[in-house]
C-alpha cells in the first residue's frame, strides 16, 4: 500500500470521527429546549452560555449540523471506495467494499454518537458548543443559500423553517414517557386532553337547552331562591316568555344579598339583579372559549346556534372536565351513562357522545352529523322513535328504550354478528 493510500485511509478515519462529532451534536441540540439550556447556564460557564445562543436559533444550528453530517459521511465513503477499488479488479468487489464502508460509517458515526447524545444530552451540547458555534457562524450563509435553492425547486416554508416537531411527535413522546414511567397514566391522559381542546367545539361539551336549569323573569324571587337551593347552582339563566329568549343571569350571591334587606325583600321585582349574559356560538373551539371566559372574567356562557337561538350553556367546569375528567360535587346526582344489562351489550344514556360509544365497542360509528347516541338514532330514523324501534349502524344495533316526549332518554346497544349485519343490509336494500 503506497503512502497516498495510507493518508487516504487516515482521512476516512477522520471523516468517521467528524461525522460522529457532528451527529452527536445534532442529536443533543435537537433535544435541548430553551428552558433546559437556560437552567444549564445558571452556573455561569461560557460553554453553557454558548448552548443558550445556539438553542435560541435552532433552525440555523440544526441545518448547519445536518449539512456537516452528510458532507463528511459522503466524503468518507467515497474516499474509501476509491482506495479499495485500486486493489480490487472487479466492480462487485468494489461495491461490496462500499457497502461495508457505509455500514461501518452508520454504526460509528450515527448509532453510537447519537445514543451517547441521548444519554448525555446536556454534556454533549456543552462540550461541542465551541466548535459548533464557530461552524454555524462560518457556514450559515452557505446553508441559507442551499435552503433558498431548495425552496425555488419546491416552493414552501418547510426548509426555511428548518426542523420542527409536529403534534403527533409530541403525542408519541408523551406516550413514550408514560410507558417509561417518567409520567403517570393520568398525566398522559390530561396532556392528550389539552391537545384535543382545539379540536373540540362548544356544542360537544355544552349542557343542551332542554337540560338547562333556568327561571322565568316574572316569578317571585323566593322561587328563584328555591331553585338555587334545590339545584345547587350559583348562576341561573333567566328567560322571558320562552326558554329560547335568555335575557340575563341571576347570581346566588345577589339573591342572598337581597334577602338581607328584610322579610319583604323577596316579594318585590328583581330585574335589577339581572347580569348581562355572555353569548358564544356553538361551533367555537373550546380552547378559544376558555381564553375568552378568562379575559371576560365570567364562568358561564349561553351557547347559541347559527340562527341565534339558544342551544345550551357551558361553564368553565365543563371545559376543565374535558382535561381532568368528570368533576362531581355534593349537588351532582351521580348517573351512569353506560351500564351492562342482561340480553343486551349496553344500556346508554342518549346523551353519551358517539365517540365514547365507538371507543367502548371498538367500532366505527358516524359522528360527522351527530354528537350523541340519541342524535344518531333520531337522525337515522328520521322521526321521534317509539320505544322498541331500532336502527342498525356499522354493525351496531341501537334500540330506543325510553322516550320522554320528543326526547330519547335511554338506548339499548347490541353488537351484530356477521349474519345479522348482512340481513340488516338486505332489509335496507
Taking only the tens place, the pLDDT of each residue in 321-344 is 888 877 766 655 556 788 888 877
- What is the arithmetic mean of pLDDT over 232-243? 91
What CATH number is associated with residue 234? 3.10.580.10
Model confidence at 365, in pLDDT bands (50, 70, 90)?
A: confident
Same domain, 67 and 120: yes
What is the pLDDT of the chain when averaged over all its residues? 83
Same domain, 227 and 376: no
Range of the domain at 178: 168-197
Let me know if residue 332 belongs to a domain. no
Residues with Cβ within 8 Å of residue 420, at least 6 apart in sequence? 392, 397
By CB atoms closer than 10 A (0-12, 13-18, 19+), residue 333 is exposed
Let me know if residue 220 belongs to a domain. yes
- In which residue are the cell numbers 445534532 written? 26
Taking only the tens place, the pLDDT of each residue in 80-119 is 777 777 776 656 666 776 677 677 777 777 788 888 888 8
Torsion 148-153-155-157 (CA) sign: negative
Same domain, 211 and 140: no
Kind and range of the H or E element at 345?
Answer: strand 344-349
Taking only the tens place, the pLDDT of each residue in 285-319 is 999 999 999 999 999 999 999 888 999 999 999 99
Instruction: Count up the domains in the chain and report the number.
Output: 4
Q: Residue 367, SS3? A: coil
Runs of H (alpha helix) within 88-199: 91-106, 112-119, 121-153, 158-161, 167-179, 185-197
Tell me what pLDDT residue 310 has: 93
Let me know if residue 330 belongs to a domain. no
Same domain, 286 and 235: yes
Q: Is the pLDDT of residue 377 over 80?
A: yes
Amino acid at each position: 500500500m503506497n503512502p497516498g493510500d495510507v493518508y487516504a485511509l487516515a482521512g476516512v478515519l477522520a471523516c468517521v470521527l467528524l461525522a460522529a462529532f457532528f451527529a452527536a451534536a445534532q442529536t443533543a441540540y435537537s433535544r435541548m429546549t430553551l428552558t433546559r439550556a437556560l437552567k444549564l447556564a445558571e452556573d455561569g460557564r461560557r460553554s453553557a452560555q454558548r448552548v443558550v445562543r445556539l438553542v435560541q436559533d435552532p433552525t440555523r444550528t440544526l441545518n448547519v449540523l445536518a449539512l456537516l453530517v452528510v458532507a463528511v459521511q459522503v466524503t468518507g465513503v467515497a474516499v474509501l471506495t476509491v482506495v479499495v477499488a485500486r486493489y480490487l479488479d472487479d466492480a462487485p468487489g468494489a461495491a461490496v467494499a462500499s457497502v461495508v464502508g457505509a455500514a461501518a460509517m452508520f454504526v460509528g458515526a450515527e448509532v453510537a454518537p447519537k445514543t451517547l447524545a441521548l444519554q448525555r444530552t446536556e454534556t454533549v451540547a456543552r462540550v461541542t458548543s465551541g466548535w459548533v458555534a464557530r461552524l454555524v457562524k462560518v457556514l450559515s450563509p452557505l446553508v441559507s443559500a442551499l435552503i433558498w435553492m431548495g425552496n425555488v425547486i419546491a416552493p414552501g416554508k418547510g426548509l426555511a423553517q428548518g426542523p420542527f416537531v409536529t403534534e403527533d411527535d409530541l403525542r408519541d413522546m408523551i406516550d413514550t414517557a408514560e410507558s417509561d414511567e417518567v409520567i403517570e397514566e393520568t398525566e398522559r391522559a390530561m396532556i392528550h386532553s389539552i391537545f384535543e381542546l382545539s379540536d373540540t367545539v362548544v356544542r360537544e361539551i355544552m349542557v343542551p337547552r332542554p337540560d338547562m336549569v333556568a327561571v322565568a323573569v316574572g316569578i317571585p324571587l323566593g322561587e328563584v331562591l328555591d331553585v338555587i337551593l334545590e339545584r345547587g347552582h350559583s348562576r341561573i339563566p333567566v328567560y322571558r316568555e320562552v326558554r329560547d329568549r335568555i335575557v340575563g343571569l341571576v347570581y346566588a350571591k345577589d339573591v342572598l344579598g337581597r334577602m338581607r334587606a328584610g322579610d319583604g325583600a323577596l316579594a318585590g321585582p328583581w330585574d335589577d339583579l339581572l347580569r348581562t349574559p355572555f353569548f358564544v356560538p356553538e361551533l367555537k373551539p373550546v380552547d378559544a372559549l376558555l381564553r375568552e371566559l378568562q379575559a371576560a372574567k365570567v364562568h358561564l356562557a349561553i351557547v347559541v346556534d347559527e340562527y341565534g337561538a339558544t342551544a345550551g350553556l357551558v361553564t368553565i367546569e365543563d371545559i376543565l372536565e374535558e382535561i381532568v375528567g368528570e368533576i362531581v360535587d355534593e349537588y351532582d346526582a351521580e348517573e351512569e351513562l353506560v351500564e351492562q344489562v342482561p340480553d343486551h351489550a349496553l344500556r346508554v344514556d342518549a346523551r353519551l357522545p358517539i365517540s365514547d360509544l365507538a371507543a367502548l365497542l371498538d367500532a366505527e360509528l358516524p359522528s360527522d352529523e351527530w354528537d350523541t347516541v340519541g342524535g344518531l338514532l333520531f337522525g337515522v330514523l328520521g322521526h321521534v322513535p317509539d320505544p322498541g324501534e331500532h336502527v342498525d349502524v356499522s354493525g351496531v344495533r341501537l334500540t330506543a328504550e325510553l322516550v320522554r316526549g320528543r326526547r330519547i332518554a335511554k338506548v339499548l346497544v347490541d353488537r351484530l354478528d356477521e349474519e345479522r349485519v348482512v340481513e340488516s343490509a338486505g332489509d335496507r336494500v
